[in-house]
Amino acid sequence: MRTLKVSAKGWIKGILFNVATRCGMWKFFTRKVKPPKILMYHRLADSKIIPGISSANFEAHLQHLIKYYQVVPVEEIIAGANSKGEYANKVALTFDDGYVDFYEKAWPLLRKYNVPATVYITTEFVEQKQWMWPDKVRVMLNATSLTKVNIPHVGTLHLSEENFEKNWHCISDHCLTLQESERDSFLQDLIVLLDVTISDFPISDFSALTWQQLHEMEKEGLDIGSHTVTHPILTRIDDKQLKNELLESKRVIESHIATEIHGICYPNGMPNDVSDAVTKVAKECGYQYGLIAYTDNVDKNNKLKTNRIPAAENTAAFAFSLLA
C-alpha cells in the first residue's frame, strides 16, 4: 500500500515537473529565496549491480541546476552558511568515495556545463589497496550460483535476481552493526557460504580513481577533500585510529596535490556515525568543515557537521528536493 502511495506521489510530481518546465512555470517555484544546498552523489553507473545515477539523469540534473540555480564550490556555501540573500538559491555538488566513474562519466559532464564539484576520497582506496566492503557483497551476490543461503545473524536469503537489492541491504545492514575486524571475518565467511571466489583488490567496475586522474582533474579545477584513510565508521574506532584516519588521509592527499585540504566527509555520515568527539578531532586535524549525510536536527552554525541532501535519481524528484 505504501509503495502504491509513494509511486502515485512520484507520478504526480513527474507530471507537474514536466508541465511546469515545458511551459516555463518552474521558474515561478524557484523564484522565492531558498537556502543554499549541498548535494550528495556517490556514483554514476549504468549497470544493474552498481548503485548509482545514470549518466543521462546526471546530465539532466546539471541542465536543471544551471537553468534555475547558481552552482558554486562547496566552500562558498560553507563560508556563507549563516547568511541569507546573497547565498540563497545556491547549490554545490559533492561526490563521495572516489570511484573511477567520477573521472570517466561525471567529470566530462561537469566540464561540459562548467559546473564546479568536490570529490572526497578514501586514500587507501585510491592507493588501490582495498575494496569498499559493500561492493564486495554486491560482487559475491552477483557471482554466486546458489539459489538460497542461510547466513548466521542475517537469516535465509533467496538469491534471485529480483531479490538482489533486498539481499544486499540485509547483509550490509548487518555489517554496519559490526566492528571492523568482525565485519572482515563475517565477509570472509560469506565467501565460503556463497561458494564464490573474490579478488584481493577491486575489479574494474568497483575500482577507485588514480592519483594521475586526480592530478589531471585538479589542474582542470576539481576540488578534493578527505573521506578518511580506510572508510571506517568513525564512532567505532579508538582515539588513536580516529586521529590517524583523519590526519593521515589529509596528509596523503596534500602530498599528492597542490592545495591544502579543508574538508572532510565522514563515512556513512549518519547521526550515530559522527559524534562530537569525531568533530573535535576533525577540527584539531585542521579541517574547516565536515559533511554529514542527514538533514534532521542539524545545528546550522556547526560547520563541522554541515548537512547535505542526497541527489535523487529521478529528475522530477531531484527538482522537488531542491525546493524545500
Nearer to Zn ion, 307 or 315 (CB): 307
* Residue 53: CB minimum distance to Zn ion, A: 15
Nearer to Zn ion, 97 or 101 (CB): 97
Nearer to Zn ion, 57 or 226 (CB): 226
* Residue 56: CB minimum distance to Zn ion, A: 24
Cell matching residue 104: 570517466
Q: How far apart are CA 112 and CA 145, in angstroms?
A: 42
Instruction: Please give the radius of gyration of the chain, using alpha carbons only, rounded to the nearest integer.
Output: 20
| Mode of pairing for the β-strands spanning 37-41 and 70-71 | unpaired
Q: Where are the beta strands (DSSP E) in the chain?
A: 37-41, 70-71, 90-97, 118-121, 148-151, 155-158, 223-226, 263-265, 289-291, 309-310
* Residue 129: CB minimum distance to Zn ion, A: 16
Nearer to Zn ion, 14 or 51 (CB): 51
Amino acid at 10: G
* Residue 123: CB minimum distance to Zn ion, A: 12
* Residue 175: CB minimum distance to Zn ion, A: 14
Half-sphere exposure of 70 (CA within 13 A, CB side): 16
* Residue 227: CB minimum distance to Zn ion, A: 6
- Using the structure block, give the residue that is written with the C-alpha cell 583488490: 201
Q: In 80-162, which residue ranges form alpha helices assigned H by DSSP?
A: 101, 107-112, 123-126, 133-143
* Residue 309: CB minimum distance to Zn ion, A: 16
* Residue 233: CB minimum distance to Zn ion, A: 11
SS3 268: coil
Amino acid at 320: F
Nearer to Zn ion, 137 or 194 (CB): 137
Nearer to Zn ion, 225 or 267 (CB): 267
* Residue 96: CB minimum distance to Zn ion, A: 4
Q: How far apart are CA 304 and CA 158, in angstroms?
A: 42
Nearer to Zn ion, 67 or 169 (CB): 169
To 5 degrees, how large is the angle CA 116–CA 121–CA 127? Answer: 130
Q: Helix 133-143 and helix 164-175: axis angle, to 10°?
A: 140
Q: Binding residues for Zn ion, per CB under 5 A?
A: 96-97, 267
CB atoms within 10 A of CB 67: 11
CB atoms within 10 A of CB 296: 6
Nearer to Zn ion, 97 or 245 (CB): 97
Cell matching residue 287: 579541517
Measured CA distances, 18 to 65, 69, 243, 317 (Å): 15, 18, 49, 11
Nearer to Zn ion, 132 or 222 (CB): 132
